Amino acid sequence: MNRIRLGRLVVYLVLGLALIPVLFPVYYAFAGSVMGPGDLASYPPALVPSGLHWENFTDVFRSVPLGRFYLNSAIQAGLITCAQVVTSILAAYAFAFLRMPAKAATFGLFLATLMVPWEAIIIPNYLAISGWGLTRGALTYLGLVLPFLASAFGTFLLRQAFLQFPGELRDAAVIDGCGHWRLLWRVIVPLARPSIAAVAVYVFLSAWNQYFWPLILVRDADYQTLQIGISQLNDAEAAQPGLILAGVALSLLPTLAVVIFGQRYIVRGLTAGALR
């Protein structure tokens, strides 16, 4: 018993040490956001603020239109999340239950797209979106979303979850008169909510943190996303690191909230296909 407790203690100690480099940047972003210039310029750097300078947050809103950037990022991330969840559900149902020629080969080809780096296709995507005129005005939202309407990762995860459902359940629904559409939305989707929530959380975090695609696509300042807007603080207010860290802390709040409240769905969804 003592050996088991000692082993657990060692594991927890190792995990705790590994957690430090992960959590320290997050901590310092929030701690630095309320530090004054003296704390941030001190050597060695101050880890705890000597005073709370809440004016850093109000100064951020005066320096850049942060509210507009928040709205743009929320629209972009929300549209991408909804689109990928719907397309992943439909594709996963097709790969799990429908009969089609060469289904295994098609699914393998579908998964092969995961190995194609985004940087390899960003030029053709940009040329297509720019050629369609989706880089100006409100159409910019459509340009930000179109290349991310589908996801092989989400399809794979949901397919694995759908395959876990007992065949008897599906047969009973078919006997009761359920077609493919009713079977999917009335039976399969309600039972797969943890996996669907995991996909939604993953997609939202990826879309919210996008930087490179909005950077090269958006031309109007009114449609810049939050990540691009925060980078403007570094150019405009380089002498005020507290202002920059306040902007970073504000940009982290939505992702932290999603991770905290969606953690159990992430764990359950990602492990759904491990055991059948």
The rounded distance, in Å, linking the Cα atoms of 224 and 141 is 10
* Spatial CB neighbours of 60, under 8 Å, sequence gap ≥ 6: 66, 233, 243, 246, 247, 250
Give me the mean pLDDT over the 201-214 stretch.
Answer: 91
What sign for the dihedral angle of Cα 40, 43, 45, 51? negative
Q: Write down the pLDDT at residue 239.
A: 59
pLDDT recorded at residue 192: 87
Contact 154, 111 (CB under 8 A): no
Residue 275: pLDDT over 80 = no
Tokens standing for 62?
């005066």
- Overall average pLDDT of the 32-52 stretch: 81
Q: How many CB atoms lie within 10 A of CB 101?
A: 6
Q: Within 10 Å of residue 244's Cβ, how many Cβ atoms?
A: 24
The top-scoring range by mean pLDDT among 6-15, 137-146, 225-234 is: 137-146
Q: At what angle do helices 66-97 and 55-63 cross, to 10 degrees?
A: 80
CA 63 to chain centre: 27
Instruction: Answer whether residue 8 shows pLDDT above 50.
Output: yes
Given pLDDT bands bounded at 50, 70 and 90, which one contains residue 236? low
- What gap in Å lies between CA 124 and CA 115, rounded to an integer? 17
User: What pLDDT shows up at residue 272?
Assistant: 55
The CB-side HSE value for 85 (13 A sphere, CA atoms) comes to: 22
Q: Using pLDDT thresholds of 50, 70 and 90, give the confidence band for residue 194.
A: confident
pLDDT of residue 84: 95
Q: Which residues contact 233 (CB under 8 A, 6 or more apart)?
A: 60, 63, 64, 243, 244, 247
**45-54, 76-85, 191-200, range with the lowest pLDDT:** 45-54
In this predicted structure, what is the pLDDT of residue 274?
A: 47
Lowest mean pLDDT across 73-82, 151-160, 170-179, 240-249: 170-179
In the predicted model, what is the mean pLDDT of residues 75-83? 95
For position 1, what pLDDT does the model report?
57
- Residue pair 61/67 in contact (Cβ under 8 Å)? The answer is yes
The string of pLDDT tens digits covering residues 94-135 is 998 888 888 888 888 888 988 888 888 899 999 999 999 888
Q: Answer whether residue 75 shows pLDDT above 90.
A: yes
Instruction: Give the CA distances from residue 21 to residues 151, 172, 254, 265, in Å, rounded to whole numbers and listed in that order.
Output: 31, 51, 21, 25
Weakest-pLDDT range from 136-140, 144-148, 259-263: 259-263
